[in-house]
Structure formats: structure tokens, C-alpha cells
Amino acid sequence: MPLKYDGKCVVCNLTVKKNEVGFWSRGIGVKHEKCAEKNIDLKCIICDGSVGCPSCEFIEDCNPQAVSPLCICKKCEQLEDPFVSYKKTVIEKFPILNIKI
Amino acid sequence: MMWSEKYRPKNFLDLIGNEESRKLFVEWFTNWKKGTRPILLVGPPGIGKTTLANLAAKQFGYDLISLNASDVRNKKNIHEILSPVLGNQTVLGTPMIFIDEVDGVHGRADYGGTEAIIKILKEPTVPIVLAANTDSSDKMKSIKKVVKTIEMKPLSPKLLRLCLNRILQLEGVKIDSDSLAKLVTKSRGDIRSMINFTQARATGFDPPTEKSFESLDIEEGINAFYKANSTVEARSILYSLRIDPREKINAFYSSIITSKISADDMQKFLQVISEADMLYGKIMKTQQWRLLRYLDAILLGLYKKDIPIRYSKYNLSWPLLNRLRWDGTKIKSIIGSLAKTMHVSKSTFSTLYFPYLLYCIKNKKIDLEFDESLEEIVQKEVALIK
């Protein structure tokens, strides 16, 4: 739709000008028509594989370009205790977060 | 206890999402030395900016000095608060400054505050952490030139669900997958509101499925508050009802004053309203917006289980309101013309002369001729005299 106001594209960070055709979603922001076409697939923090955003059940309510870049894939969600696995992986990949002073 | 407090992260690992940003933040703290550029955390509400700063102070052993938008409006205030901290560290231990909602000072509300902050940011002698929801304003652009910016993004629904499932598991609460998905998507990446909303849902209160508390209007909010089954639930609703504080106090006042409750309850509730009103008055007078956090705690005193209070927009009964609206205009016009004739002000006439005039009409000591419509009103007023 033609946008009513100037805005900052959540994908490329450039300005989407007033009257330019773009996409807007409440709570997410605006993006250029071209930027919206780019398919971004988030990475799973546990297995490093692709999360499979296009087929994700939350795709309607999630903007992969605007959210925290590491997510969790369906397979890893079904692990025995996915939360513990998530924490273990964070310790392995970001050891500095386990800082003890 | 509120879950959002109970499950507040206790170390950097307890946080969820924004792993890279967290890493950069901890690295900055680890390598901090005098003169290191301050840090600016930018991101939407409820994703852990304030928690991150609090954790840093705790884990790195700093004495946290927290300020928010209301403290940094004017230069004098900033100097009063920060000069002792920046000048003499030995007296105050190892201070760290955290300025929350630094983007919250807008236009004319800024009495030189931003300028004073930038000056301090240029020569930091203690670790300084700033937090903002957005960084697009001109003021933020000038702040950004002297700080290191770390962007924090909202969490993906799947990460939110992972966190929520963990809390539900620890609480021993079961919520069906559809409701869980709804709770996750409605929070839009705001972990705090998601937890609050889930707690309200799990403790038995069934909120409207299409809306979160944050989008409840005042009518639904007040009604939900008085329908709550426990103080915890009522608190959760009250804290999530984000509307203008003046409007909030007024809505409670009009709802209470028009309800049929016992005189004791009425007295107790009006006392609470008066306390809330005094606090708001103090905030407005001194512009100490940090005190606003206590308003909801005071208003929680208005909760009593099963009390028959429902939302009412008007603080007077309908018959009285109607009379004020329709008859009031006509009485005003009578007073206006008679005050002129008597060479007194409208206010003097209505206070002193008009009741006397009505007595005279009632006792047939005076006979005034009015228009037909005005005559009717005068007769109504005469009839009301005891």
C-alpha cells in the first residue's frame, strides 16, 4: 500500500518515503516492497540449521528480519528439554555470558 | 508473587534471545576502563534492557545509580545527581550510571538535559549505560555520536514459547497449545507482558481472547479489575492497563461514586482515591515522574473481592446529569439577565440572590413573568425548595 508517512525500513534500514509502496505491520514497522520479497530464514541456535521460517506456524506474526537473529527449529523444539539444550548451547557458543566474578 | 518478578533473570545466562547483543554488552563491561565510550541499548520495551543493566551492576560489583527521563530533563538536576558520582568515586564505592528511557525527553520538556548528558558521556569516569526504545530522533542522533550502540531486537515467537513453556513447567500449569500460541503472538516480542498475561490467564481469569490487557480500554479494564478473583489477578490487570494516570484515577472515582456499596467501603475507597490524587498532584507539581510507579500500588487498595462496582463514565447519576445539562443552561440564562438588572455579578446572583428570589416566588411575595420554557424551569426549582 502507499505509505502515509516516512519510515525506516526494518530490513535495509533506509527510509521508505511517504506515498512509496511498501508494507506496514503493527508493532513491526515498515519495509520496502523489494525488501519484503527477500526470504530470510533464521538460524537455529542449537543445531545451527535453518529454522524453516516460510513454513513456521508463526510466520504471520513474526518478521524474521526484525527479531532476535537466533531462533529454534522444530526438531530441536522436540528435544527432551529444549530449554536446557538452549542454555547449554548458549554457554558453548557464548562462553562470556557464563561469566562469574 | 508476580511471575515476571519470580522468574526475573539472575545472571546473563538466564536471559533469552539477543545472544550476540548480550555478548557485546558483557565484553564491553569486561574491558571497561576510564574513558571507554558509554553504551546505549536500543530496543522495544520488555526485552531485557533494564534487566541487563541491573545484572551487569550485580555481576561486576558496581553500585547502580539509576535515572530515568524525568531526572534528565534539566541540566541542574543532572549535575545535582551525577556530579558527586563523577567527581569522587571513593566516597560512593564503585558507581555505575544507568539512564533508562533516555529517548523519553521530548521537545520543550528538555530543559538542557540532553546537552548536559552528552557532555558527561564525552568524558566518562564511571561505566555509563543508556537505554532507549528508539534511536531515530535528532536528540538520539547526537547522543549516538558519543556512545557505542547495541541494538536489541524483539524475541521470535518460538523463543518466547520456549521461555513460557519453561515457566509453565516450573509452575505446574497447563495451557492448551492454541492459547499458548495466542499468548505468544499477542505479546509481540515483549517477554514481560507475555508473562504477566499468562499468569493472569493461568490464575483463572479469562481475558478477552482477541486483546491483551494492554489494549483493553478503560471500561473493560475497570470491569476486569473488579471481577478479578484475587489481589494478584487484580494487580496484574491494573499494572497492564496503560492509560493516562489522570484518566485512570477519574475512571475509578466515577465508577466507585456511582456504585451501590456500603458507606464503610465508600469511605475506604475514597481515601485511596485521595491518596492517588495527591501522588499525581505531587508528580505534576514536581515533575518527578519516577513516582508514577507507586500509583498502581496505591490504586490496588481499591480492590475488594466480589464488590459490585462496575465502570461508569460519569460521576453523577443520569437524572442529575440530565438536569445539569438541560435545565442548567436555562437557569444560567435566567441568572444572566437578572444579574444584569440587579447590577451584581452572575456568581453573586446565583449564590445569594437566586435562592432568595425562589423563596419569594414560592411564598407569592413576588410575581415575575418568564417565557413559557423558563417558567417551567423556575417552577421545578421552586418545587425543590424544602
Secondary structure (DSSP) of B75-92: HHHHHHHHHHHHH-TTTT
> B25 or B113: which carries more pLDDT confidence?
B25
Among positive and negative, which fits the CA dihedral B190, B195, B200, B206? positive
Same domain (yes/no): A33, A49: no
pLDDT band at A98 (very low <50, low <70, confident <90, very high): confident
> B128 or A14: which carries more pLDDT confidence?
B128
Predicted local distance difference test score (pLDDT) of residue B70:
66
Q: Do A93 and B12 touch (CB under 8 A)?
A: no
Same domain (yes/no): A17, A53: no
Same domain (yes/no): A55, A77: yes
| Phi/psi at B34 (5° precision) | -50, 130
B283 pLDDT more than 50 = yes
Predicted local distance difference test score (pLDDT) of residue B211:
41
Same domain (yes/no): A57, A83: yes
B92 pLDDT more than 70 = no
Share of chain A above pLDDT 90, in %: 22
pLDDT digits (tens, 9 = 90+) for B210-257: 344 445 678 888 988 998 888 888 888 888 777 888 889 999 998 998
Q: Does A95 touch chain B (CB under 8 A)?
A: no
Same domain (yes/no): A18, A45: no
Same domain (yes/no): A51, A25: no
Distance of CA B359 to the CA centre of its chain: 50
Predicted local distance difference test score (pLDDT) of residue B20:
92
Number of domains in chain A: 2
Same domain (yes/no): A72, A84: yes
Cβ pair B69, B114 in contact under 8 A = no
Q: Which CATH architecture has domain B18-151?
A: 3-Layer(aba) Sandwich (3.40)
List, as own/partner pairs, every contact residues B259-265 make where C-beta atoms lie below 8 angstroms and the sequence separation is at least 24, other chains included.
B259/B307, B259/B308, B259/B309, B259/B310, B259/B312, B260/B308, B261/B307, B261/B308, B261/B309, B265/B304, B265/B307
Q: Which residues of B touch A64 (CB under 8 A)?
A: 156
B79 pLDDT more than 80 = no
List, as own/partner pairs, every contact residues B197-200 make where C-beta atoms lie below 8 angstroms and the sequence separation is at least 24, other chains included.
B197/B236, B197/B240, B198/B3, B198/B164, B198/B167, B198/B168, B199/B2, B199/B3, B199/B4, B199/B232, B199/B236, B200/B233, B200/B236, B200/B237, B200/B240
> B302 or B187: which carries more pLDDT confidence?
B302
Average the pLDDT over B55-75 and give the result: 80
Spatial distance between the Cα atoms of B272 and A2, rounded to a whole number of angstroms? 50
All three cell numbers of B287, joined, read 515533575
pLDDT band at B19 (very low <50, low <70, confident <90, very high): very high
Average the pLDDT over B119-147 and give the result: 86
pLDDT digits (tens, 9 = 90+) for B188-198: 778 887 888 88
Q: Which of A71, A82, A93 sits opposite B156 (nearest CB)?
A: A71
Spatial distance between the Cα atoms of B357 and B341, rounded to a whole number of angstroms? 13
Same domain (yes/no): A47, A29: no
Facing residues of B144 across strands?
none
Query: Strand runs (DSSP E) across chain B, as ranges?
Result: 39-42, 63-67, 95-99, 128-132, 148-151
- For chain B, what are the domain ranges? 18-151, 318-384
Q: Which of B13, B155, B188 sits opposite A97 (nearest CB)?
A: B13
Same domain (yes/no): A64, A19: no
Same domain (yes/no): A46, A34: no
Instruction: Give, for A44, the enclosing helix (H) or strand (E).
Output: strand A43-44
Domain that holds residue A24: 1-38
Say whether B154 sits in a helix, a strand or coil: coil
Shortest CA distance to B22 belongs to which of B55, B60, B44?
A: B55
Same domain (yes/no): A26, A45: no
Q: Does B7 touch chain A (CB under 8 A)?
A: no
Say whether B149 sits in a helix, a strand or coil: strand
Q: Which of B18, B26, B158 sits opposite A58 (nearest CB)?
A: B158
Distance of CA A89 to the CA centre of its chain: 19
B202 pLDDT more than 80 = no
B342 pLDDT more than 70 = yes
pLDDT band at B25 (very low <50, low <70, confident <90, very high): very high
Cβ pair B129, B53 in contact under 8 A = yes
Instruction: Determine what percent of chain B falls in helix, strand and coil, rounding each to the nearest 5.
Output: 60, 5, 35
For residue A48, give the amino acid letter.
D
Average the pLDDT over B134-147 and give the result: 84
Q: What is the mean pLDDT of chain B?
A: 83
Same domain (yes/no): A24, A46: no
All three cell numbers of B162, joined, read 520456549
B81 pLDDT more than 90 = no
Mutation target among B30, B41, B49, B158 for the A interface, most CBs of A within 10 A? B158
